Amino acid sequence: MNAFERIINKIVLFVDAAAAVFLAIITGLTFLTVVLRYVFNATLPGSFDIGRLLLGVAIFWGIAVAAYRKEHIQVDILWSVLPRKVQGALNVFSDIVFFGCACVFAAMFWLRVMATRTSGETTFELDVPIWPFHLAAWLGIALTAVVLAVRILHVAFTRQFDLPDDDKPVVSNPMGFPPGEP
């Protein structure tokens, strides 16, 4: 792993942790909103807007992490019966298509972020500007494009395909949720 890849790895770890914290805040805000409503007959101002905007940031950052860890949902039916070299080639192809789409997405979303900033759009109750949240979400898509570019360049320069040892689905985390599976 070269220095640049190490930096990407550290950024992804930070993004992963931040997205997790955002989810904790969203859950906490939801819990508080309900408790305040039924126990104290009160409301938590801005919880709805802040919750949904943080959700957007967490999801877009999570998309970058999932791209880095190759956890986006794919159809393996053909891939799993192909020789390993062809599997590697297909992985690169899929990364290139994904990278192209992420670049277009990042460009168009950037225009949207700028439009939101110009319009001065704010949240309903607390009057918080929306564009910084959109900008933070945009960073997730930009990171997606960067991690895909790094992976494609890694294969282009080293000629080494990054392939798993076994083509069967594996429970990849201790909680038992395979990537993206319902």
Partner 1 sequence: MSYPDLVAVGGFALLFVLLLLRVPIGVAMGLVGVGGFALMVRTGPALNLVGLSPIRTATEYSLALIPMFILMGSLATASGLSAELYRASNAWIGHRRGGLAMATIAACGGFAAICGSSVATAATMTKVALPEMKRYGYPDTLATGSIAAGGTLGILIPPSIVLAIYGILTEQDIGKLFIAGVVPGIMALMLYLVTVRLYVMFSKQDVPVQEVASWQERIAASRGVWAVLLLFVFVMGGIYGGVFTPSEAAGMGASGVLIIGLVRRRLNLKTIYRCLVDSIQVSASIFFILIGALLFGYFLTATQSPQKIATALLSLELGPHGTLLLILLFFLLLGCILDAMAMIVLMIPIIYPVVLQLGFDPIWFGVIIVMTVELGLITPPVGMNVFVLNSLARDIPLQRIFAGVMPFVLMDVLRLAILVAFPILVLFLPNSMQ
C-beta closer to partner 1: residue 104 or 153: 104
122 three-class SS: strand
Looking at the DSSP assignment, which residues form a beta bridge with residue 129? 122
Binding to partner 1 by residue 9, rule CB under 8 A?
no
C-beta closer to partner 1: residue 34 or 126: 34
Check: CB of residue 63 under 8 Å from CB of residue 140. Answer: yes
User: Among residues 7, 42, 97, 126, which is the contact residue for partner 1, using CB under 8 A?
Assistant: 97
C-beta closer to partner 1: residue 51 or 154: 51
> DSSP string of 33-47?
HHHHHHHSS---TTH
User: Among residues 45, 129, 164, 169, which is the contact residue for partner 1, using CB under 8 A?
Assistant: 169
Residue the block writes with tokens 């640049």:
4
Q: Quote the CA–CA distance of 14 and 7 in Å, as a whole number.
A: 11
Q: How many residues bind partner 1 (CB under 8 A)?
A: 71
Residue among 125, 147, 115, 101 nearest 53 (CA): 125
C-beta closer to partner 1: residue 5 or 105: 105
Q: What track of x and - describes contact with partner 1 for positions 26 through 65 (by CB under 8 A)?
A: xxxxxx-xx---x---------x--xxx-xx-xxxxxx-x
Q: Which stretch binds partner 1 (CB under 8 A): 1-9, 107-115, 121-129, 154-162?
A: 107-115
User: Among residues 11, 36, 44, 66, which is the contact residue for partner 1, using CB under 8 A?
Assistant: 66
Least distance from partner 1 to the Cβ atom of residue 2, Å: 25
Q: What track of x and - describes contact with partner 1 for positions 10 through 29 (by CB under 8 A)?
A: ------xx-xxxxxx-xxxx
Q: Count the neighbouring beta carbons within 10 Å of the beta carbon of residue 161.
A: 16
Helices and strands counted in the chain (H then E)? 4, 0
Q: Count the neighbouring beta carbons within 10 Å of the beta carbon of residue 106.
A: 18
